[in-house]
Amino acid sequence: MEGVYEPSTGLLQLSGRDWLLRPAGYRFVSFEGRVDAEGRNFQGLVSGAPRCTTFNLSRQPSLAPPQANCVIETPTVQADQVSAGTIVQELASKGSIDLNILFDFAKSTVRPDGRIQLDELGRILMSPVLAEHKIGIYGHTDAVGSDEANQQLSEQRAAAVRDYLIERFNAPADRFEVRGFGKERLKNPGAPLDEANRRVEIVLLSDFSKHSH
C-alpha cells in the first residue's frame, strides 16, 4: 500500500491493489481514496468487485518496519493513567492527587499521550462537582540536575498544565494556583532518581464539602 499523509486534514491519501474483501466473497480489488488517521473511515472508489460497495479496512502489523519518515505517532493510553472518577475521589478524601503528566524529556512540552490524562483532569475539574473549587497545580521533579534547573522546570510544567486546561476547557486562569517545588518534595526520598518523583500534584485549595452539595 502506498500513501501520503495530509497534516492539515488528518487524512491518509491511499492507493492499494489486490485486497481481499469478505463482503463480496473474497475478491481481489483495487481502491483509490482517503482514510482518517485512526483507520475508521474510508472514502474513495473501489474497482474489481461490482457487488461490494461498503467495507472496512483492518489494520494489522506490517511484516517490514516502516520508513522513519513515514511513521505517524498516535497517542497510546499510559499504564498509570488515572480516571476522572478516581481523581475526584482522591481530591474529596485526601485533598490532593499526584498525576504522571507525560512531558518531552527535560522540557515543559506536554506529549500527545500526556494530553489524554489532562483531558481526564479537565473534564472532572469543569464538572459541577468541582467547578467552583480553586485548584493548586504543583510541579515536582526528581533529583537529576541542579536545584535551579529543577525549580524552573517544575514551575514551567505546572504552568503548562494550567495553560492546557485554560485553552482546552476554557477554565478561568484565576482559578489555579501554579507552583513549582523542583526536587524539594520527593515522593520517593529513598530513590531520588525514581520517575515517581516526576509528577504534577493537583491540590484542592477550598473545602470540598463547601460546594459539593
Is 181 within the bounds of a domain?
yes
- Number of domains within the chain: 2
Q: What is the pLDDT of residue 196?
A: 83
CATH of the domain at 135: 3.30.1330.60
Calculate the alpha carbon distances from 103 to 22, 117, 208, 211 in Å: 43, 12, 29, 32
Question: Hey, what's the cell of 159?
Answer: 504552568
Q: Is there a single domain that holds both residue 105 and residue 181?
A: yes
Q: Is there a single domain that holds both residue 186 and residue 115?
A: yes
Query: What is the C-alpha R_g of the chain?
Result: 23
Which of 54, 71, 97 lies at the terminal end of a domain, its last residue?
54
Instruction: Output the pTM of the full model.
Output: 0.62
Q: Is there a single domain that holds both residue 205 and residue 161?
A: yes
Calculate the alpha carbon distances from 28 to 17, 24, 25, 61, 176 in Å: 8, 9, 9, 21, 58
Is 77 within the bounds of a domain?
no
Q: Is there a single domain that holds both residue 102 and residue 199?
A: yes
- pLDDT, one tens digit per residue, over 70-111 is 444 444 556 778 888 899 999 999 999 999 888 877 889 888
Give strand ranges (E) for the chain. 2-6, 11-21, 27-36, 42-47, 96-99, 135-140, 176-180, 199-204
Q: Which segments of the chain have a pLDDT < 50? A: 1, 18-29, 49-63, 66, 69-75, 212-213
Q: Is there a single domain that holds both residue 48 and residue 106?
A: no
The parent domain of residue 26 ranges over 2-54
Question: Hey, what's the cell of 24?
Answer: 463480496
